[in-house]
Structures are given as C-alpha cells and as structure tokens.
C-alpha cells in the first residue's frame, strides 16, 4: 500500500497505467456538503419509519456502528439505509432532487492541474457511491467535469462500495493488470481494502494536501 502517512515504498508508482479516484472526501473535502447528504438521508428514513429526522439520523448512525461491529469494517451510509429497509434508488433520487452542491464547493486549480498532468500518463476513472446527477454537478463545480475517461456511479449496479464484482469490472475496463492500477480514496475499508486484495496499488488520501502529493510520487523515477 502506498500511504504517505506511513512512509510506504513508492517505487512501484512508475508502473501505474490507470488511476481510479473516489470522489467525496478525496477530490474535495466539504463537511457541510456531507451534512447535507446525511440530512437528506435522515429525512428519507424518517418518512419510512414515521419518526422525526433527528431520530432517524441517530438510527442511521447506530446502524452504521452495528454493521461495522458485525463485519469488522467501516460501513457506509448506503449500507445503513438499506439495512433500515430503504431503497437505494429512491434514496439517490432524493439526493439528486434535494441537494445543491454548488454552495459547498470551491474550485481548486491545483487539483485541476494535478488531474490534467496525471491524465497524460495514465487513464483516469472515477468510482463513487454517489449518483450520476449529483456526482456530475460536484465535478462541474470543482472544474473536473472533463477530467475522467469513465465515471462509475452507484447507478451502474446499485451495489455500494466495497463490491468485488464491480471492482473487477472496473479493472477489466481499464485493460491493465491489477498491479498497474492505482486506487485513490479517503476511507481504507471502503475505497481501498478490496482493490489491495485484488493486487492493485492503493493510496490513502484524506486531505487535498495529501492528494496533491500524488504528483511528486508519480513523478519519481522508480530506478
């Protein structure tokens, strides 16, 4: 695993031919937008359970904790809502209709330059638990609407991360070997654990500064 915070070996980066990025928390960080998404999910679960949104929010958080304790891995909002009887298609229809990401996004020219430079040496793919509509508006707000050759959203399978079958399909779609594919994300259990098990390189990035460090790592001569 390539992880700057642990000083991991970086010499394998020269072989990377495809890079698969997570979106939320990886290409940008916005606590406020995360809160908007959580609030929309709570309103949906509140309607299902005939409870107030504050109670639904607590229930979602408790369910995520229970799922994590059961599996030993960090759980996602999508898994928690599904566990509570929600339909992911309806949940994401509401996300797309109710959430305007624009006020919570700030275009960062450094990130735009990074992806432009990386695109010159590897195929760039986006893989997100978000839906196509909201993900597209987030990318546009960040100035990254044309950055990726392929965008894979939850709508392609309705199986949220981590999902082995979806991951294998993404790797096959790049046309490269797993060892030549780098996954970049901010949550190890959700974004990176399965790619690592499949033989891919992984990079844990929990801030824009850590994301930008990818440029110097990719530029290193592996010899």
Write the pLDDT tens digit of every residue in 23-82.
Answer: 999 999 999 999 999 999 999 999 999 999 999 999 999 999 999 999 999 999 999 999
Which long-range contacts link 27-32 to residues 24+ away (Cβ below 8 Å)?
27/111, 27/142, 27/144, 27/211, 28/105, 28/106, 28/108, 28/111, 28/138, 28/142, 28/208, 29/207, 29/208, 30/104, 30/105, 32/103, 32/104
Query: Is the pLDDT score of 165 beyond 90?
Result: yes
Tokens 């190890």 map to which residue?
Answer: 188
pTM over 0.85? The answer is: yes
Q: How confident is the model at residue 220 (pLDDT cuts 50, 70, 90)?
A: low
Tokens 């990818």 map to which residue?
Answer: 214
pLDDT of residue 2: 55
| Domain covering 4-30+107-219, topology | Rossmann fold (3.40.50)
In 3D space, the residue among 206, 165, 169, 198 whose CA is nearest the CA of residue 182 turns out to be 198
C-alpha distances out from residue 183 to 39, 101, 108, Å: 29, 25, 21
Which segment of 12-26, 58-72, 164-178 scores lowest on mean pLDDT? Answer: 12-26
| Domain covering 31-102, topology | DNA polymerase; domain 1 (1.10.150)
Domain ranges of the chain: 4-30+107-219, 31-102
Query: Is the pLDDT score of 10 beyond 90?
Result: no
């Amino acid at each position: 695993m390539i992880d700057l915070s642990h000083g991991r070996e970086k010499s394998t980066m020269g072989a990377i031919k495809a890079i698969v990025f997570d979106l939320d928390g990886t290409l940008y960080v916005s606590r406020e937008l995360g809160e908007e998404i959580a609030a929309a999910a709570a309103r949906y679960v509140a309607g299902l359970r005939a409870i107030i949104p504050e109670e639904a929010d607590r229930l979602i958080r408790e369910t995520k904790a229970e799922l994590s304790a059961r599996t030993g891995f960090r759980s996602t909002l999508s898994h928690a809502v599904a566990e509570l009887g929600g339909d992911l298609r309806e949940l994401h229809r509401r996300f797309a209709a109710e959430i305007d990401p624009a006020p919570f996004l700030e275009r960062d020219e450094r990130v735009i330059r990074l992806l432009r430079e990386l695109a010159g040496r590897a195929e760039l793919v986006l893989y997100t638990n978000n839906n196509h509509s909201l993900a597209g508006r987030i990318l546009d707000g960040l100035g990254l609407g044309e950055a990726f050759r392929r965008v894979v959203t939850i709508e392609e399978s309705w199986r949220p991360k981590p999902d082995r079958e979806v991951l294998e399909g993404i790797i096959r779609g790049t046309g490269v070997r797993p060892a030549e594919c780098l996954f970049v994300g901010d949550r190890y259990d959700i974004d990176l654990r399965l790619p690592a098990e499949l033989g891919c390189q992984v990079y844990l990035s929990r801030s824009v500064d850590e994301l930008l460090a990818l440029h110097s790592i990719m530029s290193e001569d592996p010899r």
